[in-house]
Amino acid sequence: MTNSKHIGTVLVPLEMAGSSDAILSAVEEIVRAGADEIQLLHVANVRDTLAAPEILDHDREVLEAWRERLIACGAPSVTVEVVSGMPSTEIIERSERDDYALIVLGSHGRNLVSRVILGSTTEDVLRHVDDPVLVVRLRIVETGDEATCRLAADRLVKRILYATDFSAYAERCIPCLSWIAGAHPEELTVVHVQDLRHLSYASKEQMAAFNRRDEERLAALKREFEAAGFANVDTVLRTGNAIDEVLALAEERGVTLIVLGAKGRHGTVEQIFGGVAEAVVHRSAGHVLVVR
């Protein structure tokens, strides 16, 4: 593992109200972990700016205040930009043009069927960018007639769950985990699930052999992560439905951030986002980092 304690450039698209203050709290943790540069971006709706161009000036002043907040937190470089357009299109085009270590986006909570409402911008970005995307889980807190937006888990990198199937997609998470170590999380759990949806053919003897092999793989990862600076690393091997098992383990351990690759080794269709990663992003109660 490359022991890199610094993140590169982080793109943080923000709204003018509602979720931005909560998302900035998560960004402050990223700054403390060692980000090289934070780019704050607000994409104003083109219909609003055509009717009132002065909106852009107001929005720029708000972003400048947020910039000062991150500078005070220790960010070495923070840029701000306000543009007019469609948020998802602007973010996707920037991702194609520039090299981002991370894109930070918010979710909108849960609906009545316990599926996280990501919002169209977050959905579009997850499906079309190649950069790692951090989905910050938000919750609405109502006090009387007032409602405020807060982080679902007050700390971003307190308890980490890394879900791996040992594929190349899962291995791409390791550089992100390296800089997360710099934030000194309390615990890192590394989990592999023997996914019975793909192992229905296996005999008891074959499953036992798979378990022995994967226990060795998990032990090797534990040694790597301890060498990278994680103080408390645990490994878990489970059998069942990978989606259900990852989410259940996250709930059992009070995980604040799940880290996983966007596509595993059992993918049969070329798609950037889907399967286990998509289900976890939609159903997790905590924050999720999706890595390509």
Q: How far apart are CA 113 and CA 121, in angstroms?
A: 21
Above 70 in pLDDT, residue 114? Answer: no
Q: Give the distance from CA 181 to its chain's centroid.
A: 15
Above 70 in pLDDT, residue 287? Answer: yes
Q: Specify the pLDDT at position 46.
A: 75
Q: How far apart are CA 146 and CA 86, in angstroms?
A: 29
Q: CA angle, corner 111, sides to 158 and 124, nearest 5?
A: 75
Q: How far apart are CA 200 and CA 198, in angstroms?
A: 6
Residue 249 structure tokens: 């383990």
Contact 259, 244 (CB under 8 A): no
Contact 280, 118 (CB under 8 A): no
Contact 259, 230 (CB under 8 A): no
Q: How many CA atoms lie within 13 A of 35 on its CB side?
A: 27
| Domains of the chain, CATH where assigned | 7-151 (3.40.50.620), 159-265 (3.40.50.620)
Mean residue pLDDT across the chain: 88
Give the mean pLDDT of 93-100: 95
The pLDDT-based confidence of 146 (bands split at 50, 70, 90) is: low
Above 90 in pLDDT, residue 78? Answer: yes
Give the mean pLDDT of 189-199: 95
The pLDDT-based confidence of 53 (bands split at 50, 70, 90) is: confident
Q: CA angle, corner 98, sides to 97 and 102, nearest 5?
A: 130
Above 90 in pLDDT, residue 30? Answer: yes
Kindly state the helix (H) or strand (E) to which residue 42 belongs, with its residue range. Answer: strand 35-45
Q: How far apart are CA 239 and CA 224, in angstroms?
A: 24
